[in-house]
Amino acid sequence: MREIIRFAWGISSLGDFVVAMSEKGLVALEFSSMHAAMEDALRIRFPEAELERSEDGLAAVMEVVAGVIDDPASDCGLPLDLRGTSYEVQVWMMLREIRAGQTTSYGALAAKLGSRDPREVTAAIANNPIAVIVPCHRVIKKDGSISGYRWGVRRKRALLAREQHGVER
């Protein structure tokens, strides 16, 4: 029997987003206004799975995710089904340890993993399929400047500002 991955589209303060869930948990949270292209990307990412659109079935999840996008410091409580290489999953788990309102650098993450070369960390972060909840937006350049973000630097700045505002409360 083929695995079923359910997905749904939502609208947030940072734009359209798609959520995809396996039986184990969230496998994707991505920002995109190109619905057909993103759905094709999901089919390519999960070639062995049957993708099923499920707006009604994922309504509660969508509400939680929209809330986390508005307040990225909040704990969503959704189970995650992280799918990547063992190295990527290790990096993504490290990202989840970065507290809201704090940032780290690519080099600092690489050093924690025993490497001086941040390129592998950067590549793992770029492959992160779960925006906001796996907070790759909290990784910046060592000089403190904001570098690229898979879903746009504007979103990265907005997420960091929201977290900083939440910490100041």
Out of 62, 69, 136, 159, the active site residue is 136
| Distance between CA atoms of residues 157 and 152, nearest Å | 9
Please, are residues 100 and 65 in contact by the beta-carbon 8 Å criterion? no
Among 8-12, 62-66, 145-149, the least confident range: 145-149
| Residues 85, 48 contacting (CB under 8 angstroms) | no
Tell me what percent of the residues of the chain surpass a pLDDT of 70: 98
Please, what is the average pLDDT of the chain? Answer: 93
Whether the pLDDT of residue 105 is over 50: the answer is yes
Whole-number pLDDT of residue 54? 97
Query: Given CA atoms 145, 113, 20, 51 in this order, what sign does their dihedral have?
Result: positive
Cα–Cα distance measured from residue 63 to residue 59, given in angstroms and rounded to the nearest whole number? 6
Q: Which of 42-51, 62-71, 136-145, 160-169 bottoms out in mean pLDDT, i.e. has the lowest?
A: 160-169
The question of whether 136 is a catalytic residue gets the answer: yes
